[in-house]
Structure 1
């Protein structure tokens, strides 16, 4: 009988993170979530296969404690999904060093900490593991006021291919770059949908299914160190004013 598989996800209490967590739960995985959204964690559908933890991914002590609880509850770890992020969009000349640092701490250092202290647990398993980092198309293109966020998301791409080199062949590491993804209950106009080459904005399910594919050794076992843009074609669309 195959050993039950375990994944952990940061920022899994709502929106994309919640959709990813549910995708794995619905496919028979054990899931651990770490998030600072206490209300979102309380409202997450209850499951015996779920562990929730209120904590800050940029806090080394919280990350270590979270993994201790994952090991105690589930006994192993197979897949890490780094998803937690904050925006910090602000006029560049008004952006403080503290605000810049906070975005980098959560969006980039948090990914490092989760990998640094999660990888040893993955390596205890006889099989292979995977890390999937959620970046953004803003790692590749920007709008005004995106400096901290875009820098953090671009840093994730560098961290991804560096980790793929350091952790292979035991652990595959890839990144996903979502474009405009509708959050829970978000509604936009047909004009906004039509900006996309596929005629619609993305859904949480679009991201969850790609992440689940990248976690599957049988389906994506020859893929590592890559980043996947999933944006309905927006980064390939030229716009002239």
Structure 2
């Protein structure tokens, strides 16, 4: 087992993933670079500090195979950045949902595998970082499927963080960030004053790694600022909150273990509450 911390980064050969890889290697990390397309010059430049695996993140088996190879090589896993993503493709006769497959399934698959291997660490645990987008907060009218897929990433992390206690943070990229994913003409039209600096994104990653209080949080990167995105307030107070309460018997049926959440509804107390206040759905703490 290596003594250096180990990270897996999807979409590691370009854009944000490349920036993350360079930053972590510079800090003494070992990085497993997962990507559909290799970057030979980058891989050669970083040498023994990295390994490259050809991965299609929309395919669970592809990710699982390379997670296992990474574990077999290093014997530990400290950080996973589920970063890979694409924009909508041109409109076909039948909807092409590759954008959703990569942006959503890729994150779900990577998170599931990260949890499995991080629980095998000498000290169980780690950090999972999901790259979202400005479109996860502010709808992008030009790319509706992309907007929906990135919104799904944000909500997935927020819903998972308290349960898993290992899912780290989703952070969103506000306005625009110049990566190979963005056409050159689009980047030029946005203007240099609207382009988020790659160094800002790397600063966000550093905050995520070093500040455990950010678990489940969303960090918005805007030009040179890293902003903590507040959770939306329930518009109708307790009534809105109860719409998404956790009832432990259902949680156990789905996940085969109790939630452990302090505000999960206890079935016995919930029944008593509903007798006294029919239809109120009052929370009963475990």
What TM-score range do you get, normalising by the shorter chain?
A: 0.7 to 0.9
Instruction: State the 1:182 CA deviation.
Output: 2.3
**Please, which of 117, 140, 152 is the counterpart of residue 149 of structure 2?**
152
User: Aligned partners of 1:89, 1:50: CA distance in 2, in Å?
Assistant: 31
Find out whether 1:226 has 2:217 as its counterpart.
yes
> Contact 1:35 / 1:41 at 8 angstroms: preserved in 2?
no
State the superposition RMSD in angstroms: 2.5
CA distance 1:114–1:96, shift in 2 (3 Å)? farther
Q: Is residue 2:205 matched to residue 1:211?
A: yes
For structure 2, the residue ranges without an aligned partner over 5 or more in a row are 228-286
1:135 to 114, 132, 152: 132
Compute the TM-score of the two structures, normalised by the length of structure 1: 0.81
Secondary structure of 2:52's partner? strand
Name 1:238's counterpart in structure 2: none
2:99 aligned with 1:103: yes
After superposition, the C-alpha distances for 1:169-217 in whole angstroms (9 at most, x for unaligned) are xx14211111311237x796698233x4xxxx2222211221122122x
Partner residue in 1 for 2:63: 63
Distance in 2 of aligned mates of 1:164 and 1:230: 21
Is the contact made by 1:183 and 1:203 (CA closer than 8 Å) also made in structure 2? no
Q: Is there any run of 5+ residues in structure 1 with no aligned partner, and where?
A: 236-241
Instruction: Give deviations 1:92-112, integer Å, cap 9, x for gaps.
Output: xx465541x211110000100
Q: Relative contact order: is structure 1 or structure 2 higher (C-alpha 8 Å, sep ≥ 6)?
A: 1
C-alpha deviations, 1:84-138, integer Å up to 9, x for none?
A: 0010165xxx465541x21111000010001111211111121531111100001
- Name the CA distance, whole Å, in 1 between partners of 2:179 and 2:62: 27
Summarize the Cα distance change of 1:9–1:79 in structure 2 as closer, same or farther, 3 Å threshold. Answer: same
Task: Tell me the TM-score normalized by structure 2.
Answer: 0.69
Determine if contact 1:35/1:53 at 8 Å carries over to the other structure: yes
Q: Secondary structure at the match of 2:213?
A: coil
| Partner deviation per Cα, 1:115-164 (whole Å, 9 max, x = no partner) | 11121111112153111110000112233331110000000001111220
Correspondences of 1:176-187 after superposition (within 5 Å): 176-179=171-174, 180-183=176-179
